[in-house]
Chain A
Amino acid sequence: MAAVTDAPTTPVRLRRSPRRSPDAVPALRSPLWVRAALATALTVVALLWLAPLAWALVTSLKEEGDTTAVPLELVPENGFTLQAYRSMLSNDNLITWFVNSTVVAVVVTVLTVALCASAAYGFSRTRFRGRNVLFALTIAGVMVPPQILIVPLYRQMLAWGMADTYAGIILPQLVAPAMVFILKKFFDGVPNELEEAARVDGAGSLRIFLQIVLPLSRSILAAVAIFVFIGAWNNFLWPFIITTDPSLLTLPVGLVQVQSSFGVRYAQVMASAILAGLPLVVVFMLFQRQIIRGVATTGLGGQ
């Protein structure tokens, strides 16, 4: 669950300075052997953390017969092959689930950001009766773990005819009170002058929101959007509960279901696991700055 507690407000410094900046580097003035030891430790931990991914990648590039060779070999007897990826990419189910995951994650992201930004603006910059009560209620919602709602929510979706539908998968994922809180905090800090000037010119609240506030908030909106997307793409429990129709499964749910049918075809299992994880790794490579700042400034993201 995302945090609304006192999150660190200083973003991670991301610019790479041409020279190593002394301010960030308490150990710099340490003797050479200390620095060498630290760099070695850094490398060892990094290799440990990348090893599972590397091994999965190597396995996925082997022929099925080579995956279970004992003793383990890094370079397989029959050479590397894309066979596993070829059979995964020609698997209709996998393609369907990939499309489902994409549709669900994109729709959830767009709608959540729209709902939360609008509500946050209302809470931050307008005054109306009941505003404080509604805002307090929203904040209280942060405390509710989605996991405890699965039983009543499932029954409710059944009654509303939304089990095994896109709407059933998507709608419950739109409630993100933590994002409202984070965005409101940001809007509170946006200077008023521009808005006041626009209001003097006769602009209405909606125009001010769309044409002034949102463009000023691009960075935080990007951070929120990326996190909502990651959460939606990776969500397992709710799609797992609400879908049984194989053509509606999302990738994380589908993978678990086929795992048993692939049996001991380890290369294919690893290829499918990598294909499911790849989009977000690419997203991370493109948006490392925003993602890291998102974690740092808001402490959000963990489920």
Chain B
Amino acid sequence: MSAVGSAQNTARAGGPALVGRAGADGGARRSLSVGRGGPWFVLPFVLVYAAFLLWPLVYGLGMSFTDTSLVSPEAEFVGLDNYAQLASDPLVWRTLGITLLFTVLSTVPLVLVALVMALLVHTGTRGQWFWRFAYFAPFLLPVSTVVLIWQWLFQGDFGLLNAVLGWVGLGPVGWTTNPDMALWSVVLVTVWWTVGFNFLLYLSALQAIPATVYEAASLDGADGWRRLFSITLPLLKVTTGLVVVLQVLASLKLFDQAYILYGGSGGPAGNASPILQYVYDTGFVNYRLGYASAISYAFFLLIIVVAVLQARLTSRKES
């Protein structure tokens, strides 16, 4: 038991740390190691960055205080009106709720399934190339391909999913027509499509655990389950934190697959309409660019808050 404990400590101290390294600014060797012409190297990127990120960011913020419309050339300053309106807009709250629900429903399986996949592949069963391909390949497909394939699987009368349900004696499900299923179907598509990315993050973390840790545990008589729960899973904590943060931030930005799956309708009863789709509809269907900007920025604020909270939580856990 004590051997397990100490081996674990060694692994944590000496093993390849999952902590980002700070950039080394070696000040001592400045004269020779430091080049000239820095601004010229940085300038092209900075120009593109300023034109296509900074400027629209500022421009959009300004627009959110106006009643800019896509169809009329004039816009008036309306102060905080847009923000006041969105706070009492039921559709904002509804689509935000759907977005948060999707984030929870998708993050849990996207983390757990990825972990199980990585643990299974890491057992070293022959055919590593094939397993990695099978689990990761969907991540490489364009979202349109993914959704077209799943629309076909979801199809009510000739779809594979309902056929499988029929084989095991269950009735057909209205995957994309039943309001209660609408969001679950988006979750299903998303898990299948993107789990491979988290799987690879876990796999690389698993392979970074030194063999000596397991050897010491084996000598101590720890069996497979014991090694899994006492060594592997505790050592994956940092990676899990990273995967959860990335996943929550990605899930909050749900748009493409939900939009395409339901052809922009938001799904039956609008139950699969995320907040970014409300931004899109407000701006590009109803032409209210000012109000759409305001919703974007309120949502952006939420994302920043989530990111900061999570950064805090993970840093507290580590220390």
Chain A residues with a Cβ under 8 A of chain B: 1, 3, 5-13, 16, 20-30, 34-35, 38-39, 41-42, 45-46, 49-53, 55-56, 59, 67-72, 114-116, 118-119, 121-128, 131, 134, 137-138, 141, 143-145, 147-156, 171-172, 174-175, 177, 180, 184-185, 188-189, 192, 195-196, 199-200, 204-206, 208-209, 230, 233-234, 236-237, 241, 251-253, 255-256, 259-260, 266, 269-270, 272-274, 276-277, 280-281, 283-285, 288, 292, 295-297, 299, 301-303
Contacts and interface: CB of A to CB of B under 8 A. Distances in A.
Interface in B220-241: 223-224, 227-228, 231-232, 238-239
Interface string B268-306: 000000001001100110000100110011011001100
Given A6-B242, A152-B293, A302-B197, A177 B49 contact: yes
Given A72-B163, A175-B48, A145 B253 contact: yes
Interface residues of B, number: 125
Given A188-B23, A234-B143, A302-B246, 11 more contacts: A6-B242, A8-B242, A9-B18, A9-B21, A26-B231, A126-B36, A155-B63, A156-B59, A196-B29, A277-B145, A288-B133
B57 interface: yes
Interface of B: 16-21, 23-24, 26, 29-30, 32-42, 44-46, 48-49, 51-57, 59-60, 63, 68, 70, 116-117, 120-126, 128-138, 140-145, 147-150, 152-153, 155, 157-158, 160, 163, 166, 192, 194, 197, 200-201, 203-205, 207-208, 210-211, 214, 218, 223-224, 227-228, 231-232, 238-239, 242, 245-246, 249-250, 253, 255-256, 260, 263, 276, 279-280, 283-284, 289, 292-293, 296-297, 299-300, 303-304, 307, 311
B143 A236 contact: yes
B59 A269 contact: no
A70 B16 CA distance: 55
A6 B18 contact: yes
B46 A134 contact: yes
Given A256-B260, A299-B201, A233 B232 contact: no
A46 B200 CA distance: 15
A5 B318 CA distance: 14
Contacts of A35: 123, 125
B163 A71 contact: yes
A39 B144 contact: no
Contacts of B223: 30
The A contact surface, by secondary structure, is: helix
A137 B263 CA distance: 38
Contact of B201 (A16, A21, A295): A295
Contacts of A8: 18, 201, 204-205, 208, 239, 242
Contacts of A118: 41-42, 44-45
